[in-house]
Amino acid sequence: MSKQHKPLTADVIYIYDTGSSEYPETVKILMNDGRYMTYRLEVKQPGFVKAMENIRNMVVGYETKK
């Protein structure tokens, strides 16, 4: 089993991508081996999946008059 590095929570860098963000989108945490690990906020968007399914099921086109 490999060595597991633990975060040094005293040294955390918070990055807000937009000024309107409530939570930082990116967090960089200093680990006990001296390296920074980058973590990004995951936003679940279940409405997006449903919208894509609806678009996929749409019929696009027109009927010609005879």
Note the pLDDT tens digit of each residue in 3-30. 777 767 778 888 888 877 788 889 999 9
Domain ranges in the chain are 7-57
Residue 30 phi, psi (nearest 5): -80, 125
1-5, 34-38, 58-62: which has the highest mean pLDDT?
34-38
3-state secondary structure at position 10: strand
